[in-house]
Amino acid sequence: MEHRLFSHISMNWRGRPLEDYETVVNLIGTTTNTKGLKVKVRLDRRRYRTGVSVSHEAMHELHLVRAAFHGDWNYVLKPRMDN
């Protein structure tokens, strides 16, 4: 999910109870930011394995560029340029 929309989703939610998936999808789907960025959302009902871990080697191979401010939270994951 686009990080620039987290605060806008929270403002759009305004503490309403998230009673079902439809409510969550509708709240996220009607969110925009001040620059006109819109959200496309759909519910993914597929089942995913839990407890899957990523190795330290695989994490090290990612092209993760951390921001100067709170790099643990603010980062860009860029494609690798394999030679």
What are the extents of the domains in the chain? Answer: 3-43+53-78
d(CA 74, CA 66): 6
Q: pLDDT value at position 3?
A: 61
The closest alpha carbon to 15, from 31, 3, 26, 27, belongs to 27
Tokens of residue 27, six digits: 């709240």
**pTM higher than 0.85 for the full model?**
no
pLDDT single digits (tens) 51-70:
999 999 998 889 989 999 99
What is the enclosing helix (H) or strand (E) of 66? Answer: strand 63-66
Residue 59, class by beta-carbon neighbours within 10 Å (0-12 exposed, 13-18 middle, 19+ buried)?
Answer: exposed
C-alpha pair distances (Å), 52 with each of 15, 17, 57: 32, 30, 15
